[in-house]
Amino acid sequence: MPTVVSVFGVEPKRIGGTETFARELSLQLDQRGWKSVLCFTGQPPEDVASFLSLPNVTLEVLKDSTHFNWKATKQLGSILRRYQADILHLHFTSFIGVFPWLAQLSSVKKVFFTDHSSRQQNHVPRRAPLWKRSLVPLINYPITKVICVSKYGCHCAKALDLLPDDRYELVYNGVDLSRVKVDCGRGAEFRRRFNISDNKKIVVQVSWVIPEKGIGDLLEVARVVTSKRTDTQFVIVGDGPFSEQFMKQANEMGLNSNVTWTGLMTDPFDEGVFDAADIVCQLSRWEEVFGWMITEAMAFGKPVVATRVGGIPELVDEGKTGFLVNRGEINAAAERVMRLLDDRELRKTLGCAGRQKTHAKFNLQTNVGELIGVYGI
């Protein structure tokens, strides 16, 4: 059976964008008579493993695959030979590394690399130094295509001038719309679980808890909004190395009763996060290459308030599916949030437009189909 080996340099802790992509890819490969080998940096928990398990799927643990590591290189070589892989696809690994040549030496026919990298704050796309432009084409010669998940990502990658422009392909990330089923009961259960009263409106951000995701700015927005109205609860869904620091900051700001920290949730769709939310924020400070949570919120018909950074303006249409503010503009973000809180019809109108855009541009089934076309299957 022909085989695609997908290497994800992440640990599958929850049912999120990466895991739903891996499952949809496997489903569509199965329909075409292909096997799917999914390699993660750790063993998925039981519910995630069950979600990923399909008749044509094998799960493998490939530790330390994010950056160069001899042990991971040796292990990947063994996986490629064992399954007689036809295609290797690298995700969340280093762009410059030995894996493409390892695939070539293991008789893999095609190698793909997806650029999931958000850029640093205020990143300016520019040409790479001469030494990189000399070496990288040799190092990455075996790569068939670099997949970019946004036009912004394509622009940044092409600006480096490391590979010919025709080696880059735009395939947007997507949302598994088959899993998007609005359920008021789940929203009510979410409120009960986190002791949020029915008379409060909920503003959610789902993200890794790090400064680059604008958690500090979200807390400032929460302070402005809750100082003017008592009917709003801010909810931060996720975890990260800065969780305790930001919880302490919220406490010092007097926000303990106004901000709920859920920690990591295994499946935000099934656990009612978006059912309960009235507004979804993504106040990133770095140049977000895509923004999976934004498209997920839009799929659930939720209006979005986000920063005008990276690829986010490709997702959020200003005044149509949500509002965009400049990075660090606390008062502007708070004003947009309060405007939405005050206007139920506006929330409904923007949410409906967001749902339509997600179906048109960010449908996971369609976009994975595009990717399989790029594979040449």
The superfamily (CATH) of domain 3-174+363-375 is: Glycogen Phosphorylase B; (3.40.50.2000)
Give the contacts of 181 (CB within 8 A, at least 6 positions apart): none
Question: What pLDDT score does 16 carry?
Answer: 95
Reported as a pLDDT band with limits 50, 70 and 90, residue 35 is very high
In this structure, what are the phi and psi dihedrals at residue 51, rounded to the nearest 5 degrees?
A: -65, -40
Give the DSSP H/E element, type plus range, for residue 203. Answer: strand 201-206
Question: What percentage of the chain carries pLDDT values higher than 70?
Answer: 100
DSSP letter at 166 equals G
The pTM assigned to this predicted structure is: 0.95
Q: CB 130: neighbour CB atoms within 10 A?
A: 8
CA distances from 336 to 17, 61, 231, 288, 309 (A): 27, 44, 16, 20, 17
- With contact defined as beta carbons under 8 Å apart, do 234 and 259 qualify? yes
- With contact defined as beta carbons under 8 Å apart, do 172 and 367 qualify? yes
- Averaged pLDDT, 222-244: 97
When the pLDDT of each residue in the chain is averaged and rounded to a whole number, the result is 97
Partners of 115 in the β-ladder = 148
Angle at 366 between CA 355 and CA 147, to 5 degrees: 110
Give the contacts of 16 (CB within 8 A, at least 6 positions apart): 268, 292
First to last CA, the chain: 13
Reported as a pLDDT band with limits 50, 70 and 90, residue 290 is very high
301: left (phi over 0), alpha (psi -120 to 50) or beta: left
- Averaged pLDDT, 34-44: 97
In this structure, what are the phi and psi dihedrals at residue 271, rounded to the nearest 5 degrees?
A: -95, 10
The per-residue pLDDT for range 127-183, each reduced to its tens digit, is 999 999 999 999 999 999 999 999 999 999 999 999 999 999 999 999 999 999 999
The per-residue pLDDT for range 74-105, each reduced to its tens digit, is 999 999 999 999 999 999 999 999 999 999 99
The domain spans of the chain are 3-174+363-375, 178-361
21: tokens are 């992509």
What letter represents residue 285's amino acid? R
Residue among 31, 158, 17 at smallest CA distance from 91: 17
Distance from C-alpha of 375 to C-alpha of 46, rounded to nearest angstrom: 30
- pLDDT at residue 67 greater than cutoff 90: no
Same topology, domains 3-174+363-375 and 178-361? Answer is yes
Distance from C-alpha of 130 to C-alpha of 255, rounded to nearest angstrom: 51
- Give me the architecture of the 178-361 domain, per CATH: 3-Layer(aba) Sandwich (3.40)
Alpha helices in 32-95 (DSSP H): 46-52, 70-82
